Amino acid sequence: MGDSPDLLPGTLYMMILRSLNPGPLHGYAIAKRIREWSKGDLQIEDGSLYPALNRMLLKGWLKAEWGVTDNNRRARFYRLTAAGRKRLEAESSAFNKMIRAIQLVMRTS
């Protein structure tokens, strides 16, 4: 606790966008999906998630509407806008490029 964060800062938007690519989800389900896809290695704190979702709404990457889950619970469903889909492409390619550059640094003798 206190040393390294759970997440690599700057990758949360990208993963949220990715998780919504197949279709709308509510917030709680986004965190769950990312946790599952990462086999439990990535745990999104909800104190990180909801503020991030709100920033993403403001940026126009997502739209939200209230609805009801399979479990008959009230929940807010988020879906990608066209801008969000575009952003996902941009973020993932920038991320891949960045990772390759970092790995060059880390592996160069």
Partner DNA sequence: GACTATACCTAGTCTAGAAAGGTATTCTAT
Partner DNA sequence: ATAGAATACCTTTCTAGACTAGGTATAGTC
In 3D, which of 23, 72, 77, 87 has the Cα closest to residue 53? 77
Residue 76 near residue 65, CB atoms below 8 Å:
yes
Rule CB under 7 A: is residue 52 a binding residue for DNA?
yes
Nearer to DNA, 45 or 89 (CB): 45
Residues between 2 and 31 with contacts to DNA, criterion CB under 7 A: 5-7, 9-13, 26-29
Rule CB under 8 A: is residue 37 a binding residue for a second copy?
yes
Rule CB under 8 A: is residue 25 a binding residue for a second copy?
no
Specify the residue for token string 């690519």: 21
